[in-house]
Amino acid sequence: MTVYDYGIIGGGPAGYSAAIYAAKLGKSVVLFEKDKVGGTCLNRGCIPTKTFLHWADLYTEFKSGVKKEIYRAEELGFSFEKISAEKDTVCNNLRKALELVLKTMRITVVPYEAVITEEGKISANGEIYECSEIIAAVGAKPRELKGLEFDGEFILSSDDVLNLKQLPEKIVILGSGAIGIEWARIFSAFDVDITVVEAAPDLLPLADIEVSKRIARMFKKSGIKFYTDCSVLSADKMNKSVTLSNGEVLRTDLLFVAAGRVKCDIAPPGKNVKIIGDCAGEIQLAHYATCQAKKVILGIPYNKELIPSVVYGDPEIAWVGKREQDGEFKKVLLPVTALGKAQCDNCTEGFIKILVDGDKIAGAHIISKEASALIQQIVIAMQNDISVDRLKEVCFAHPTYSEGIFEGLMRL
């Protein structure tokens, strides 16, 4: 029987990060992954979606340039099939790089389903592995709704949508979380007729209310139709239609159910098994999974209240900390149009909003190009309890989007 210091089930961001951190400490590690290393993030989530978004944003930019007669093009088009192939190339390259890292660090990768048979023992492909420590990081799967079960043809999951080889003319997206918003942006850029249906009163309901209102405005501007306080009651594959809770019937080629994800279960979990990543049922973000792995293996703590969220697309949306609807705060809102860099880049949609409690930042909400990078500056300031007055002493480069944070703070 092979004996290891760590047995890790699941090769996504939580699992492979834990494996790498443990190997760096000189521990022997066996990593079980029945599908592909990289997990949902690399193979069916973050990376493939952002690859689609990259080409969607470029196409949008070219269309804008042609409209302004900056670019000349007799016929401006695209090949969705080749974009899909490029997505596969990106995922394959990153997965190969990850596999090489695991191999270089002498982490044993077992490409079979793993089951915890008893305390400290894992079974896979007929072999038993004895492990001093067992970590379960088996991830999550798309949430399926009763009556709207995925069929991969008319009713699609977030896994199914990545396998499209051609675009529909019309699509209904159920859910306006990060997945729904990002795919609405992708389809919109490629001129698909889109309707978003959201059960909550506002789009992107987890975000600050001002962010939700701005998304609604951006959707209207780009021609994306949406319903809030509404749901899909039924779907008719034969007639290619969906019936909404408000009584309306929408014709559509596809129904994309983007209603979030549910954690996968460990069977049996075992009383001494550490559970991290999406299957822990907490914050389902790859970077949060990595934080959990750091804490379990290296003992490095993290502040659960300061995990940044990002919704990608044009422009990016990012936030951290408290929302305006969470309490009473002093606030400042700087429109992105005030930034020279935004004007140069023709990216003037959005704002930088900072909430302050006393002399410390309580939260920040950004809609802007580079929002994913800007929010990290706020996180660092909040994590280190840096006061607003101290931040005003920092010299921000010009012209940048970062100076929007400085300009906002100077207005407080």
At 278-298, the pLDDT tens digits run 999 999 999 999 999 999 999
Report, as an integer, the average pLDDT of 132-140. 96
User: pLDDT tens, 196-233?
Assistant: 999 999 999 999 999 999 999 999 999 999 999 999 99
Apex CA 126: angle with CA 123 and CA 129, to 5°?
35
| 213 inside domain | yes
Q: Is residue 237 pLDDT above 90, yes or no? A: yes
Residue-level pLDDT at 274: 95
Q: Answer yes or no: do 227 and 205 share one domain.
A: yes
- Indicate if 292 and 335 belong to the same structural domain: no
Mean per-residue pLDDT, 357-381: 97
Q: Which domain holds residue 155?
A: 144-259
Domain final residue, candidates 298, 319, 347: 298
Measure the CA–CA gap between 398 and 181, rounded to whole angstroms. 31
Tell me, yes or no, whether 11 and 66 share the same domain: yes
Confidence of residue 146 (pLDDT cuts 50, 70, 90): very high
Judged against a pLDDT cut of 90, whether residue 316 lies above it is answered with yes
373 and 331 assigned to the same domain: yes
User: What pLDDT sits at residue 139?
Assistant: 96
CB proximity list for 273: less than 8 A, separation 6 or greater:
116, 134, 135, 136, 266
Tokens of 225: 């139709």
Q: Is the pLDDT of residue 119 over 90?
A: no
Q: Tell me phi and psi for residue 228, to 5 degrees.
A: -115, 165
164 plus 115 within the same structural domain: no
Residue 303 lies in a domain: no
Per the structure, the count of domains in the chain is 3
23 & 120 share domain: yes
Q: What is the mean pLDDT of residues 123-135?
A: 95
In this structure, are 127 and 270 located in the same domain?
A: yes
Tell me, rounded to whole angstroms, the distance of Cα 111 from its chain centroid. Answer: 26
Task: Give the pLDDT band of residue 267 (cuts 50, 70, 90).
Answer: low
pLDDT tens-digit map of 52-104: 999 999 999 999 999 898 998 888 899 999 999 999 999 999 999 999 999 99
Residues 183 and 220 occupy one common structural domain: yes
**Residue 214, domain CATH:** 3.50.50.60
pLDDT given at position 8 = 98
Q: Are 162 and 284 found together in one domain? A: no
Let me know if residue 304 belongs to a domain: no
Q: The domain spanning residue 404 has which CATH number?
A: 3.30.390.30
Q: Is residue 320 part of a domain?
A: yes
Q: What's the CA angle centered on 98, arms 94 and 103, to 5 degrees?
A: 145
Note whether residue 375 is domain-resident. Answer: yes
Q: How far apart are CA 68 and CA 14, in angstroms?
A: 46
Q: Read off the pLDDT of each residue in 1-21 and give the average, rounded to a whole number.
A: 95
> 267 and 137 in one domain?
yes
**C-alpha distances in Å from residue 5, one per residue of 18, 19, 37, 106, 184:** 12, 11, 20, 13, 45
Average pLDDT of the chain is: 96
Question: Is the domain of 206 the same as that of 222?
Answer: yes
For residue 75, what pLDDT is reported? 84
Same-domain pairing of 189 and 276 = no
